[in-house]
Amino acid sequence: MIERAIYLKDALTLYQDHAEELAIIPKEERLNRQDWEDLIDLKDLLTPIHEVSMQVQSVGTTARALHNTLTIMDYLLTHLETRRNQPGSAHFMACLSTGWKKLKKYYELSDFNPAYIMVVFLNPHFRYLWFKTTGQANGKHTLRR
């Protein structure tokens, strides 16, 4: 919906101008330049999240396998951290920071999930080497990413 609104920005602006003349939309409720910039930022922020969620939901792929969870979460955390270092409106940055903190919390909790540890261990690609490089083999419960 945001993508469509951005695509139709000129038409929506014309509608707002006409609606203001007819007193349908008060001036303070119109989308201004900052609102459009926030919408573009929001679209850019949400696009990779949408793509990953669609990939995880797809049938016939291994993307939704449990062993891919941290890889996907790592990708999303990196995306959010990169965006946090760029300028934005105060409200947008506050929302972004809240989302990043929540994702980071669950990312760190996965270190202690026995199901995740077993899935990684049983995956032929990772096996015991993953545990040796992350410290899991020594009884430490922190992942090195």
> Using one digit for the tens of pLDDT, what is the confidence trace for 15-47?
888 877 777 777 777 888 888 888 998 899 999
| Average pLDDT rounded to a whole number, residues 121-128 | 67
Cβ–Cβ < 8 Å for 65, 122: no
pLDDT digits (tens, 9 = 90+) for 93-124: 898 999 999 999 988 887 777 777 777 677 76
Query: How far, in Å, CA of 80 to CA of 14, rounded?
Result: 34
pLDDT band at 134 (very low <50, low <70, confident <90, very high): low
pLDDT band at 67 (very low <50, low <70, confident <90, very high): low
Query: How far, in Å, CA of 143 to CA of 112, rounded?
Result: 10
Task: Answer yes or no: is pLDDT of 131 > 70.
Answer: no
For residue 23, give the DSSP letter.
Answer: T
Query: How far, in Å, CA of 120 to CA of 131, rounded?
Result: 9
How much is the pTM? 0.64
**The pair of three-digit structure tokens given for residue 72, joined into one six-digit string:** 């996907």
